[in-house]
Amino acid sequence: MIDGKRILREVKLLRFLKHKNISHIIDLMRPAPIPGQSRIQFDDVYIVLDRMDTDLNRVIYSDQLLSDLHIQFLMFQLLSAVHYCETANVIHRDLKPSNILVNAKCELRVCDFGLARGMQASSDELTTYVVTRWYRAPELILACYNYSSAIDMWSVGCIFAELLSRKPIFAGEDFLHQLKLICEVIGSPSHEDLAFMNEGSANRYLRDMEFMPRKEWRDVPGLKDAPEKALDLLNSMLTFSPRKRISALNALKHPYLATYHKQPIKSAPVQFDIEAIERMNLTRKQLREAIMEEIRFFRGDCYDEQRQQSAASASSTPAKKTRGKEESASSTGSKYTRHKEESASSVTSAKYSRPKEESASSVTSAPSDTTALIES
């Protein structure tokens, strides 16, 4: 039930989020039904996403050259996606390099929204056990349940530092070690910074910890030669207090990304009520029905029982008596098999095509003097 609800939430969310830097669902299908079986009797769902070459984690730890222009363009796209999610009332909660897809043109898309939640969720609906440890914000380590999209901005800051240094900035072995590594770099938090904390073992550990002065960013391994403007932006992202952490919109306006200041910044037209799925209290049957509705959005009625029965009866009739019907079926069934015959780029159906603002002419391109991100 938990996995099923997570799948339903992610599918609905990916259909709602229409941004060129967020993965899109191209097709959604279930295993072929067994004749006579109910259309909701299935255990697997196949989600087809737009094709990308690799993920950012593999690029960072490859021998591929990452110039400052590459990093600027990647950060502009990542922050654009996070800002769009903020305006849609969505917290990703698991941003990390392996959840960021890229291609050879340096185009980026955020994926894996399985842990996403709404920003207005109650503390009972939120959990601190999210985000891979190395990218986990201090408020999550300190078990603060009333967190915001600032946790995504901390993760973006960790990814930014990793792009600059080609190594993780806070590679903690457990949550206390993670907290220690953070304080070694950004310094021990002030009493004002600790105002958001809840009482707990990590909090007591933090109060008992020996005072640590803030380290200069150029003294952090791998950041010695980083541009000054990049370090200034990094400094505003990796702040202990979420109240002082820069927002995605303000980060997009930072001088480090001046090259893209004339580019339009897209906001979500309406907010997505992601918690409505949690409030449904669906039974197992209702959950399967809800997922089937999502499949029907992409596949029409191709899994309906009546169509299955017609297909079964047709297959049992001699071919010479049903040739006309077969020809008719092949001509009318094309909309259900189009994804096999056409590439994603050639599909013109409204429900498969990308939004108009994502046409080739409107997508922001990488600077012309950068090399391909992934060498052939």
* Residues 6 or more apart in contact with residue 193 via CB below 8 angstroms: 240, 241, 244
Q: What is the CA radius of gyration of the chain?
A: 24
* Average pLDDT estimate for 262-284: 86
Residue 281: the pLDDT is: 81
CA distance 245 to 160: 14
Query: Which structural domains are found in the chain, ordered by start?
Result: 2-50+272-310+332-352 (3.30.200.20), 55-260 (1.10.510.10)
* Residues 6 or more apart in contact with residue 202 via CB below 8 angstroms: 141, 142, 143, 175, 176, 179
Residue 321: the pLDDT is: 45
Residue 145's pLDDT band, with cuts at 50, 70 and 90, is confident
Higher pLDDT, residue 262 or 347: 262
CB atoms near residue 359 (< 10 Å): 11
CA distances from 22 to 13, 83, 255 (A): 11, 11, 24
pLDDT digits (tens, 9 = 90+) for 29-65: 988 877 777 777 888 899 999 999 999 999 999 999 9
pLDDT digits (tens, 9 = 90+) for 78-97: 999 999 999 999 999 999 99
DSSP secondary structure code for residue 332 in this structure: H
Residue 208 annotated as catalytic? no
> Is 257 in contact with 76 (CB distance < 8 Å)?
yes
The token pair that represents 133 in the structure block: 């440890």
pLDDT digits (tens, 9 = 90+) for 334-347: 333 333 333 333 33
Backbone CA torsion sign across 275, 277, 278, 279: positive
Q: Is the pLDDT of residue 130 over 80?
A: no
Mean pLDDT check: name the lowest of 8-17, 177-186, 301-310.
301-310
Backbone angles phi, psi at 343, to 5 degrees: -75, 160
CA distance 156 to 153: 5
CA distances from 105 to 69, 101, 178, 366, 368 (A): 13, 12, 35, 7, 11
pLDDT digits (tens, 9 = 90+) for 112-123: 998 888 876 544
Residue 333: the pLDDT is: 39
Q: What is the 3-class SS of 224-257, one letter each residue?
A: CCCCHHHHHHHHHHCCCCCCCCCCHHHHHCCHHH
Mean pLDDT check: name the lowest of 121-135, 158-172, 325-339.
325-339
pLDDT digits (tens, 9 = 90+) for 305-354: 555 555 555 555 554 444 444 444 333 333 333 333 333 333 333 333 33
Q: Is the pLDDT of residue 197 over 80?
A: no
Residue 374: the pLDDT is: 64
CA distance 14 to 90: 11
Residue 356: the pLDDT is: 41
DSSP secondary structure code for residue 195 in this structure: G
**From the candidates 27, 50, 63, 94, which is the catalytic residue?**
94
The pLDDT mean for the chain works out to 80
Q: Is the pLDDT of residue 159 over 70?
A: yes
